[in-house]
Amino acid sequence: MAVRRGIQETNRVIAPGQTYAGVDDRVNRPILQNLTRSPIWWFLGFGVGFFFLMVYLYSVTTLIIRGVGIFGNNVPVAWAMPIVNFVWWIGIGHAGTLISAILLLFRQDWRTSINRFAEAMTLFAVVCAGMYPILHLGRPWLFYWLFPYPNTYGMWPQFRSPLDWDVFAISTYASVSALFWFIGLVPDLATLRDRAQNRFVKLFYGTLALGWRGSAKHWQRYQRAYLLLAALSTPLVLSVHSTIALDFAYSQVPGWNNTIMPPYFVAGAVFAGFAMVLILAIPLRYAFGLQNLITKKHLDNCAKVMLATGMIVVYGYIIELFIAWYSGVEFERYMAYNRLFGDFAWAFWALILCNAVAIQPLWSRRVRQSQVALFIISLIVSVGMWLERYVIVIVTLMRDFLPSSWGNYYPTVFDWSLFIGSMGLFLTLWFVFIRLLPTVATSEIKELVHHDMHHSGHDDDHDAPTHRAQPEVS
């Protein structure tokens, strides 16, 4: 009996014995504390993020003044680190939408504790990603030509280019994610408004909460809107990264013109995204003492999704190599040979090591329950997914049809400073977010608490009212 209870405890989405007020105390009290009494780790984290944000802005300024040639791009490899980092960042964002939207459609209650910060992660990753398509332009100040608007030139964008679809995909993704995130925040902002003591803090959250009173009508419409947005975000998230996959798959370059690209890119995005969720969740639950709300069950489930999507990615690697051989096209075969044994084979083998080998321990329950192991594996996966985009974008372009146009690629200091600086942008936004807004969706957690208090012990559906007699089944 004791053993059985032990297993049940770890299988719970939130630890037993939670109360509504307890959840609020846990999540909202640290936010409402005076800024000067923020914990030291927050100042440190924000400081590091802000420093690298300055590195980012310095790199962007240099880029605009001196031109796009400060990067290591060359003529065969005209797409390099900016595109690698763009795909990497936008991929990271996808796990947030998967958690908030797709898991909502599947009615997974374990999404509840992690959806808020995962959506924030999406939003900030999209901010970092969305800058790259502009910054990698030679003339970034003319980026608005990519939008269809009536102008005196009589010109419109080319709607056949996946790069223009990117504009629509990313701008839609950014705005829908922001809207989805904000709608989810409104009840929590109202809680913060009501719990705040300081007049100006109250006014700040009160303005953002848009007059939420929590009436039955409010909640009914809220649920409807939330579900609709989830249903809209699901195809959106699948198509956004597919669109980005088409940037490559639409071309004729051997190694790019693969029909497997869209689903394989989406799987890779969710894979990398869940790795980032784990990287953020493990320190977060310690920093805010959220172990009772973000339980080992969450980490375990995230690791399972990571493993599942990771294996799809591994399947992608195998299929790419198989088709390269099976096609009988010498360019395709050489592409595979170049990846496996060429000058930049180290990138491919490091990628296999990170994405295919390092995730195998996740099959074990013990590894999935170990936070140290999960954190390390997630870091390795993040590096591995960066290398995957490096191999797809750069190593492919180095060697294609004409041997007279073969080149190499070496990133410059600005390639790196812009990338590391974009992490500073992410971290700055992240630390502002965890200080000002609830990292956990308290209103949704309270639903789980309600379920625990009133429906535990029997398996009836939460929505079925308990006071009404169950219909007789004849």
Partner 1 sequence: MPQILPPNANTFARWTIIGGVIFVILLVISLTAFARISRNRVGVPVAQPVGFQHSLHAGELGIDCRYCHNVVEVSAYSHVPPTEVCMTCHSQIRVGTPQLAAVYESWETGTPIAWNRVHKLADFVYFNHSAHINSGIGCNHCHGRVDQMSAIWKAEPMTMGWCLECHRNPARYVRPREEVFNLAYEYPANQLEIGAQLVEAYNINADALANCSICHR
Residue closest to 316 by CA, chosen among 258, 360, 370: 258
| Strand, helix or coil for residue 461 | coil
**Footprint of partner 1 on residues 142-171 (CB under 8 A)?**
151-155
Q: Write the DSSP assignment of 63-124 as a string of letters.
A: HHHH-GGGS---SS--S-HHHHHHHHHHHHHHHHHIIIIIHHHTT-GGGTTTHHHHHHHHHH
For residue 11, the minimal CB distance to partner 1 (Å) is 42
CA 4 distance to own-chain centroid: 35
Pure H helices in 147-295: 162-195, 199-208, 216-249, 261-287
**Footprint of partner 1 on residues 252-271 (CB under 8 A)?**
none
Nearer to partner 1, 39 or 214 (CB): 214
For residue 208, the minimal CB distance to partner 1 (Å) is 12
**Footprint of partner 1 on residues 57-116 (CB under 8 A)?**
none
For residue 443, the minimal CB distance to partner 1 (Å) is 20
The C-alpha atoms of residue 425 and residue 420 are separated, in whole angstroms, by: 9
Nearer to partner 1, 61 or 151 (CB): 151
For residue 124, the minimal CB distance to partner 1 (Å) is 25
DSSP code of residue 354: I
207 interacts with partner 1 by CB under 8 A:
yes
The C-alpha atoms of residue 88 and residue 388 are separated, in whole angstroms, by: 9
Helix, strand, coil in percent for the chain, rounding step 5: 75, 0, 25
DSSP code of residue 366: H
For residue 145, the minimal CB distance to partner 1 (Å) is 13
Nearer to partner 1, 129 or 201 (CB): 201
In this structure, the chain runs to a length of 474
Q: Which two tokens stand for residue 167?
A: 């504009």
442 exposed, middle or buried (CB, 10 Å; 0-12, 13-18, 19+)? buried
| Strand, helix or coil for residue 412 | coil
DSSP code of residue 209: T
368 interacts with partner 1 by CB under 8 A:
no
Nearer to partner 1, 208 or 418 (CB): 208
The C-alpha atoms of residue 264 and residue 314 are separated, in whole angstroms, by: 9
The C-alpha atoms of residue 269 and residue 396 are separated, in whole angstroms, by: 20
| Tally of CB atoms within 10 A around 314 | 18
Nearer to partner 1, 205 or 256 (CB): 205
Nearer to partner 1, 160 or 199 (CB): 199
211 interacts with partner 1 by CB under 8 A:
yes
For residue 380, the minimal CB distance to partner 1 (Å) is 47
44 interacts with partner 1 by CB under 8 A:
no
The C-alpha atoms of residue 68 and residue 248 are separated, in whole angstroms, by: 21
Count of residues near partner 1 by CB under 8 A: 12
For residue 13, the minimal CB distance to partner 1 (Å) is 34
Nearer to partner 1, 155 or 227 (CB): 155
Nearer to partner 1, 151 or 408 (CB): 151
Nearer to partner 1, 213 or 458 (CB): 213
For residue 160, the minimal CB distance to partner 1 (Å) is 16
Nearer to partner 1, 29 or 365 (CB): 29
For residue 284, the minimal CB distance to partner 1 (Å) is 30
Nearer to partner 1, 190 or 280 (CB): 190
Residue closest to 277 by CA, chosen among 307, 308, 298: 298
Q: Which two tokens stand for residue 358?
A: 């390092």
For residue 459, the minimal CB distance to partner 1 (Å) is 43
Binding mask 187-206 for partner 1 (x = CB under 8 A): ------x-----x--xx--x
Phi (first) and psi of residue 433, to 5 degrees: -60, -50
For residue 198, the minimal CB distance to partner 1 (Å) is 10
User: How far apart, in Å, do the first and last CA atoms of the chain sit?
Assistant: 36
For residue 473, the minimal CB distance to partner 1 (Å) is 50
CB 381 within 8 A of CB 271: yes
| Tally of CB atoms within 10 A around 401 | 12
Nearer to partner 1, 149 or 410 (CB): 149
By CB under 8 A, name the binding residues for partner 1: 151-155, 193, 199, 202-203, 206-207, 211
